[in-house]
Amino acid sequence: MSPGHPTDSSVSAAAPRETFVLNVGPQHPATHGVLRLKLTMDGEYVLHAEPVIGYAHRMHEKMGENRTYVQFLPNPSRIDYLSAMHYMHAYVCVVERALGIEVPPRAEYIRVITSELNRIASHLVWFGAFLLDLGAFTPLLYAFDDREKILDLLEAVTGSRLTYCYYRFGGLCNDVDEQFIEGTRAFVKHMRGRLGMYHKLVTENLILRKRLEGIGVISAELCRKYGATGPVLRGSGVPCDVRKLEPYSVYPEFEFDVPHFAEGDCMARYKVRMEEIAQSLRIIEQAIAKLPPGPVMAEKVPRVIKPPPGDYYFAVEAARGRFAIRLVSDGTEVPYRLKLRTPSFSNLALFGEAARGLLMQDALALLGSLDLVIPDVDR
């Protein structure tokens, strides 16, 4: 922080000052989509920040009440298109929970492998776009290059590059082949080397450190009050990860750490995500080594999905944090209510408080470090 940086109290005490309202978005390169910010500025300092959302509202919750369980399958991957696998995972798991379906172990292992590959792909997009925000163009090209390798692997088994619809109630739509296994093994090896390169190229860069260290500090208490999760919460020193805390799927069978850093600044969130890529590689490696043979689809899946009446809840750890679905069933083929709890919504909610008193460019660094996907905020 620069020496002239005003604290909250000095900003409000120094009156009368002329302030102005700066509108950012809904079409602005730094907002990663159609987010709009109303910033009340005192010169270069943000006095008050108000995100305006809803520019990408796509009625996913309404659609949930309009179609059968199977017809809703393509939707979750379009809520947060960067971590499509995790959202699919939550959706199929909540329906499996309601129906009481046991999923074969091979299917769960493949779910974990594909989910973790997707997590790496998502973090790579964030890495490229975040550094683009900060003025570095080159890392984007490297990150997208590596991401394409993941997309090739996933495309071969799922058929799509981005909005996967691969999981089914009770398993998967098709098994992976030897080529996928070999390719994933090779990718893990390749990515380990690239991570080292990223750290050399970016993490140790002095300009980057000056832009991130000590900037946009978010306390663990602020995260709790706003329900922020994922790398934002872990960047504030809380090792909270749904995969460890409320284990689902076969995650308890793998050894991995939950990276967390106590600083709470943009750099901490950066380090959490970079470290998470390494941890995901660890999980993938173990999952491939342990991958059991067998079917990938449960045998007793009813043809017509009619969960018994009741209220079911399922949370997963998506790339941006805790994603949860609350499903209210009335025993028919159509969900009665499908509530989607998305991580970006809660993570963005604290922006107004966290951005107060920051310089404009630091506020945008903070915004980038939250890793927002706007349709995920708006649903």
Query: Regarding beta strands 310-318 and 171-172, do their DSSP bridges make them parallel or antiparallel, or are they unpaired?
Result: unpaired
Q: What is the smallest separation between the CB atom of 289 and another protein, expressed in angstroms? A: 27
Q: What is the smallest separation between the CB atom of 102 and another protein, expressed in angstroms? A: 12
Name the one range near another protein by CB under 8 A: 166-174, 194-202, 281-289, 313-321: 313-321
Going by C-alpha positions, the residue among 337, 308, 321 that lies closest to residue 376 is 321
By CB under 8 A, is residue 145 in contact with another protein? yes
By CB under 8 A, is residue 227 in contact with another protein? yes
- Range 148-187, binding another protein (CB under 8 A): 148, 161-163
User: Of the two residues 39 and 121, which places its CB atom closer to another protein in the complex?
Assistant: 121
Name the one range near another protein by CB under 8 A: 172-180, 193-201, 222-230, 285-293: 222-230
Paired with 316 in beta bridges are 323
User: Of the two residues 6 and 33, which places its CB atom closer to another protein in the complex?
Assistant: 33
A 10 A CB-CB count for 42 gives 17
By CB under 8 A, is residue 89 in contact with another protein? no
Tokens 């909005």 correspond to what residue? 163
Q: What is the smallest separation between the CB atom of 280 and another protein, expressed in angstroms? A: 19
Q: Side-chain half-sphere of 82: how many Cα atoms within 13 Å?
A: 27
**Contact indicator for 103, 299 with CB cutoff of 8 Å:** no
Q: Give the separation between CA 79 and CA 338, rounded to whole angstroms.
A: 13
Mask for 34-53, x = binds another protein (CB under 8 A): x------------------x
Q: Length of the chain, please?
A: 379
One-letter amino acid at 267 equals M
Q: What is the smallest separation between the CB atom of 336 and another protein, expressed in angstroms? A: 8
By CB under 8 A, is residue 339 in contact with another protein? yes
Q: Give the separation between CA 297 and CA 8, rounded to whole angstroms.
A: 57
Q: Give the separation between CA 373 and CA 31, rounded to whole angstroms.
A: 9
By CB under 8 A, is residue 310 in contact with another protein? yes
Q: What is the smallest separation between the CB atom of 334 and another protein, expressed in angstroms? A: 12
By CB under 8 A, is residue 237 in contact with another protein? no
User: Of the two residues 288 and 367, which places its CB atom closer to another protein in the complex?
Assistant: 367
**Contact indicator for 189, 307 with CB cutoff of 8 Å:** no
- Tell me the C-alpha to C-alpha distance, in Å, between residue 299 and each of 73, 95, 103: 20, 16, 9
By CB under 8 A, is residue 28 in contact with another protein? yes
By CB under 8 A, is residue 219 in contact with another protein? no
User: Of the two residues 47 and 373, which places its CB atom closer to another protein in the complex?
Assistant: 373
**Contact indicator for 215, 358 with CB cutoff of 8 Å:** yes
User: Of the two residues 147 and 269, which places its CB atom closer to another protein in the complex?
Assistant: 147
Q: Give the separation between CA 247 and CA 264, rounded to whole angstroms.
A: 25
Q: What is the smallest separation between the CB atom of 223 and another protein, expressed in angstroms? A: 7
| Site size for another protein (CB under 8 A) | 77
Q: Which member of 45, 69, 142, 251 binds another protein (CB under 8 A)?
A: 142
- Tell me the C-alpha to C-alpha distance, in Å, between residue 134 and each of 62, 66, 100, 114, 211: 37, 42, 48, 30, 8
Q: Which member of 226, 251, 256, 270 binds another protein (CB under 8 A)?
A: 226
By CB under 8 A, is residue 131 in contact with another protein? no
Structure tokens at 375: 């349709």
Q: Which member of 210, 245, 294, 302 binds another protein (CB under 8 A)?
A: 245
Q: Give the separation between CA 51 and CA 35, rounded to whole angstroms.
A: 7
- Range 270-309, binding another protein (CB under 8 A): none
Q: What angle do CA 218, 197, 181 make, to 5 degrees?
A: 95
- Range 56-85, binding another protein (CB under 8 A): 56-59, 61-63, 65-67, 74-75, 78, 81-82
Q: Which member of 350, 359, 364, 365 binds another protein (CB under 8 A)?
A: 350
Determine the straight-line distance between the first and last CA of the chain, rounded to whole angstroms.
36
By CB under 8 A, is residue 324 in contact with another protein? yes
